[in-house]
């Protein structure tokens, strides 16, 4: 995609979905195709991104407490259903998984990523 349609799509995603849209916009900018709230029998996957020989099932966690073990296990199960790599995105100042949740993320192969809303490339505008 050319940059202008990507930026247009990013702004629409952010306006419609909020934090989910911010995460989806980042994957869109990376050149992946996305689907927001992809349905599965275990509940929706927040962002399903695919392309360039990869497929990611992304769960966005936006809370002031560290994610519990159940969140990590749930994204791993949903990713198995769609044959994707599980990714847990910590949005904002959310603390990293600790204790059992951290161990579960390592053992289940869940990638933990952080996105801070103040450092997004699409917010930088030339003057």
pLDDT of 3: 84
Domains of the chain in sequence order: 34-118 (3.40.1350.60)
More confident residue, 121 or 54: 54
Query: How much of the chain, in percent, has pLDDT values that exceed 90?
Result: 74
Tell me the C-alpha distance between 78 and 15, whole Å: 26
Residue 35 CB-half CA count within 13 A? 13
Distances (CA, A) of 64 to 61, 75, 97: 9, 19, 12
pLDDT of 53: 95
- Per-residue pLDDT averaged across 23-38, rounded? 95
Cβ–Cβ under 8 Å, residues 110 and 81: no
What DSSP element (H or E) covers 47? Answer: strand 45-51
- Segment 51-98, tens digit of pLDDT: 999 999 999 999 999 999 999 999 999 999 999 999 999 998 889 999
The mean predicted confidence, pLDDT, of the chain is 90
| Distance, C-alpha 78 to centroid of its chain | 13
Expressed in angstroms, the distance from the first to the final Cα of the chain is 24
């Amino acid at each position: 995609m050319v940059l202008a349609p990507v930026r247009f799509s990013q702004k629409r995603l952010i306006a419609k979905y909020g934090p989910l849209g911010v995460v989806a916009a980042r994957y869109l900018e990376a050149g992946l195709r996305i689907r927001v709230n992809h349905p599965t029998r275990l509940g929706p996957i927040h962002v399903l991104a695919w392309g360039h020989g990869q497929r990611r099932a992304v769960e966005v966690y936006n809370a002031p407490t560290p994610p519990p073990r159940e969140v990590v296990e749930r994204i791993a199960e949903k990713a198995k259903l769609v044959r994707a790599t599980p990714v847990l995105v910590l949005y904002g100042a959310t603390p990293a998984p600790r204790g059992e949740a951290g161990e579960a993320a390592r053992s289940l192969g869940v990638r933990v990523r952080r996105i801070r809303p103040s450092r997004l490339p699409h917010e930088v505008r030339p003057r």
